[in-house]
Amino acid sequence: MRYFKYVISLVISLGCVLNAQVVWGQTTPQNYPNKTVKIIVPFAPGGPTDVQGRWAAEQLSQALGQAFIVENQGGAGGVPATDRVVKSVPDGYTLLAGNPGPLVVAPAIRGQMPYNTMTDLEPIMLIARSASCVAVHPSVPARNVKEFIAYAKANPGKINYGSPGIGTIGHLGMERFTFHAGIVLNHVPYKGAAQYLNDLLAGHIQVAFIQFSPCIQQIKQGKLFSLGATSEKRSSLLPDMPTIAEQGLTGYSSYNWNGLLAPKGTPAPIINRLYEILSTQLATKENQDLFINQGHEPGNLTPEGYRKFLQAELNKNAELAKAANIKE
């Protein structure tokens, strides 16, 4: 009997030790992070989502003394990579570099999605938003919106535009443009912004959304021409470039934006800690100047503010998809 009690006591003791080891090995908000954190970028390297994802990784690595690394997974408009994050363990070690494509565009035009943006992800912070220029290859005989619309109507089905993929902001933004302009263009989807920019420069496609920073460089070199800016008002970086809206498409605007999100269920203290670090860094003059000079408007929305922003974007895109009959 004594032997039996001894065995039982030993088993209980071992169980307590093993359980303690499991608890001690777990991540808590107090010891987070205690290993490498991955930020999944749902596009190929080189585009704005990649650049801002790497900015966030650098800021968090420096502040927390642990490696935050970027992993690129392009393809299918960013949906598979986003779904991967959604299905990850919600412990703060797998984060998403958020982009409108897989978060608020694809859900508006696809019949079915493997995730729900509003219920399967925890917003951390909207980092920045940025307008684009509608850029054309020099072979296109148009230098403003009016001339391009006339050219497109005279050449139906002959003009190709590129985007980072089906269901991205480059896709829906151009569809918004064609809807307002009453023209039809052929969509050529790519796996990222860098790829379609190269093809636009080579003349394999004729038109595309290009964000301000690379657009400025190519325009100055005469490699591309801009029809206009997609912003609500003229950019301080390009004060001589008229907006699309002021050239006759009243009310037109389109912005790309980037943020950071985590899987649903990630502890709130971890979400808040990441937000506080990024918010503090984004508010510095050095980073404000960095973003503005690259053509971005610093966002700095709180987790709750970012959540409301996502819902508003979803509603707006769903309305356009219905009105213009945009489907994947």
DSSP sequence for 258-321? EEEEEETT--HHHHHHHHHHHHHHHTSHHHHHHHHHTT-EEEEE-HHHHHHHHHHHHHHHHHHH
Domain boundary among 247, 266, 296: 247
pLDDT per residue as tens digits for the range 50-104: 999 999 999 999 999 999 999 999 888 899 999 999 999 999 999 999 999 899 9
Looking at the structure, tell me whether residues 185 and 171 fall in a common domain.
Answer: yes
Q: Which phi-psi region, left, alpha or beta, contains residue 85 (left: φ > 0; alpha: ψ -120 to 50)? A: alpha
Looking at the structure, tell me whether residues 141 and 122 fall in a common domain.
Answer: no
Looking at the structure, tell me whether residues 225 and 266 fall in a common domain.
Answer: no
Does residue 218 fall inside a structural domain? yes
Looking at the structure, tell me whether residues 194 and 165 fall in a common domain.
Answer: yes
Domain boundary among 215, 247, 279: 247
The vertex-273 CA angle with 271 and 278, nearest 5°, equals 95
Residue 11 phi/psi, 5-degree rounding, is -60, -45
Q: Is the model's pTM score more than 0.75?
A: yes
The total number of structural domains in the chain stands at 2
pLDDT per residue as tens digits for the range 260-306: 999 999 999 999 999 999 999 999 999 999 998 888 889 889 999 99
Domain containing 238 equals: 131-247
Looking at the structure, tell me whether residues 122 and 141 fall in a common domain.
Answer: no
Does residue 202 fall inside a structural domain? yes
Does residue 108 fall inside a structural domain? yes
Does residue 12 fall inside a structural domain? no
CATH number at residue 237: 3.40.190.10
Say whether pLDDT at 27 is over 80: no
CATH number at residue 312: 3.40.190.150
Does residue 305 fall inside a structural domain? yes
Looking at the structure, tell me whether residues 287 and 314 fall in a common domain.
Answer: yes
Domain boundary among 247, 273, 295: 247
